[in-house]
Amino acid sequence: MSNQLHKPAHARADWTIDQGWEKYTAEEHAVWDLLYKRQMEILPGRAADEFMHGLKALDLGKGGIPNFEIISDELEALTGWRVVAVPGLVPDEVFFDHLANRRFPAGQFIRKRNELDYLQEPDVFHDVFGHVPMLTNPVFADYMEAYGKGGLRSLNFAALKNLAALYWYTVEFGLIQTDDGLRIYGAGIVSSKTESIFALEDASPNRIGFDLERLMTTDYRIDDFQQTYFIIESYDQLFRATVDTDFAPLYERMQGKFSKAPEDVIKREDTVITHGTQAYAKSGGRLANADAK
């Protein structure tokens, strides 16, 4: 997958680089502020309480791109995690090794003002605004470490694809059921204005109860809104499912393959909260709907 990445000359052996916080331009800080403001207009009442608390605890809205040293000291005091700067995507084994050691690798760069809504590589807004707040939650913080450790173990199996689906459908695109209704905790959703509304309110996507093997055998969209979102009941459910499961027989069964398409609903097996119309995907998705946004 991301194993053919080329390490830039200025990156260390573990792919980290200096954040170079003092070198960000006024325009780059202004892009952070704009993105932050846009998300705060829509996230209250949509994002999980634990995410909102994390934003506040780390003071991510104080203005400008956060300084990793400062937020790392605060985060380390809460859950022992730190944020380290990387140039962009890093190889899987490097990524897992950071997570297993409670370091979150965050993209150093920020997107340009003319591409606020969609980008391929994870930038500092996606990584720090999207991922870091949930790392203030002790159970979620433990889940992320467990995921990294599981990743290191899975390198010996032809299973990475299945494990990546788990990350995708939880850490990136997860929803949680609460007493006040469905809430977003996935970083790929909370860092996107359009997907924050789509994931919770649109009639298109399926919304299905969390089941570890189901998630790990389901293909996903990397370039558009998800066709299915999986709903957890608690972060403990997520953590327990990963640490109490012996992944070796799972990997053996899955064979590094997906047996379900992104839009599938499995009768009599899935706990279906919404059976989506898939109208958005059927109409051509992001490219076809670009003007309507």
Residue closer to ligand HBI, measured from CB, 33 or 213: 213
Cβ burial of 252 (10 Å; 0-12, 13-18, 19+) is exposed
Site string for Fe ion, 117-146 (x = CB under 5 A): -----x------------------------
Q: Residue 165 Cβ, how far from ligand HBI at the closest point, in Å?
A: 9
- Residue 147 tokens read as 């995921």
DSSP state at residue 154: H
Residue closer to ligand HBI, measured from CB, 95 or 210: 95
Binding residues (CB under 6 A) for ligand HBI: these are 1-2, 86, 89-90, 92, 95, 105, 122, 164, 167
Closest residue to Fe ion, based on beta-carbon distance: 187
Cβ burial of 88 (10 Å; 0-12, 13-18, 19+) is middle
Q: Residue 27 Cβ, how far from ligand HBI at the closest point, in Å?
A: 23
Cβ burial of 72 (10 Å; 0-12, 13-18, 19+) is buried
Residue closer to Fe ion, measured from CB, 187 or 189: 187
| Among Fe ion, ligand HBI, none, residue 210 binds (CB under 5-8 Å by kind) | none
Q: Residue 122 Cβ, how far from ligand HBI at the closest point, in Å?
A: 5
By the criterion CB under 5 A, which residues form the site for Fe ion? 122, 187
